[in-house]
Amino acid sequence: MTRVLVTGAGGFIGHHLVKYLVEKGYWVRGVDIKEPEFEATQAHEFELLDLRRWPCCLQATRGIDEVYNLAANMGGIGFIETHKADVMHDNVLINIHMLEAARLNGVGRFFFTSSACIYPGYLQKSAEVTALKEADAYPADPEDGYGWEKLFSERQCRHYWEDYGLETRVVRFHNIYGPLGTYDGGREKSPAAICRKVALAEDGGEIEVWGDGQQTRSYCYIDDCVEGIHRLMRSDHREPLNLGSDRLVTVNELIDIVEGAAGKKVRRRYDLSKPQGVRGRNSDNTLLRKVLGWEPAITLEDGLGETYRWIHGQLELTGRIGATPVTSGT
């Protein structure tokens, strides 16, 4: 069995990736500073380690064939806009330590999870944004803080291949969402936040929306995400690659879809004082299709439906909303 390490295995994407790789027949060690929040890990071995610390990275990579490095200090736009020093400090330490530990311990392949936040702000000033190609990363003007540390670590991966022959793979995520992710507390992404707000609101009630609702994004469901990660790791493509949907929607359209999943309508109170990020961002999947012969296929309606039902269920379990009545015949 190929022995793989998934860092960030206590987080949203890492937890799903562990399950996917175990089902594929890999032996999996999960590492994080916390265990998964919503269900037990399926990793064959799970270690609580602080990967900002060099000895912990050496321990995590012992006896490992391949590393999927997802560990990061991150959250939604509200978090990364207000914790730039912590985000850059923690994530750069994790990434450079993990690369060097992987090299010293003879790891064969190293997967790094970057972000669409590396793309230049000057290309994302319009809601009708032109989809972002991988080559658009330079001349560089990434998102302040989080985007810069991701772009730096992309380069470090490249140099570890050039200088040491470590096979590195780099993916640029575009707004990954789905069940078992953070949905409250400040670190949640916009799909989870909207699902929570709609679930908590009465039919005809009001929710707060950050911005004017016309900012645009594309969203990729978690099942597509982990499949794309595995496909890229098995490929021979060493340059960064987008992983996301190329369906561009406004935040208002995102709310419309969540309303459909909830079977209710809500009024929207727009708050222009809250962090909004870039005006528009979308993934150009031309290279993804060429390299992998594949692209994300789960619709936003299906993915948000699953996500809404899971978040609604969590709010029921924690007593924040009443149990949904079961009607006759259902």
Per annotation, catalytic residue among 26, 146, 160, 308? 146
Structure tokens at 244: 């996301």
Collect all residues with Cβ–Cβ distance below 8 Å to 185 and sequence separation of at least 6: none
Q: Which of 68, 74, 111 is nearest to 89 (CA)?
A: 74
Structure tokens at 233: 């790791």
Q: Which of 245, 234, 230 is nearest to 289 (CA)?
A: 245
- Count other C-beta atoms under 10 Å from residue 187's C-beta: 19
Report angle CA 158, 162, 164 to the nearest 5 degrees.
110
Secondary structure class of 58 (helix, strand, coil): helix
Residue 26 is a catalytic residue: no
Long-range Cβ pairs for the range 73-77 (8 Å, 24+): 74/146, 74/187, 75/182, 75/186, 75/187, 75/188, 75/189, 76/186, 76/187, 76/188, 76/189, 76/190, 76/193, 77/190, 77/210, 77/275, 77/276, 77/277
- CA 147 to chain centroid, in Å, comes to 14
Q: Which of 323, 326, 303 is nearest to 315 (CA)?
A: 323
The residue count of the chain comes to 330
Report angle CA 164, 166, 168 to the nearest 5 degrees.
135
**Sign for the pseudo-dihedral over CA of 44, 50, 51, 57:** negative
Residues taking part in catalysis: 146
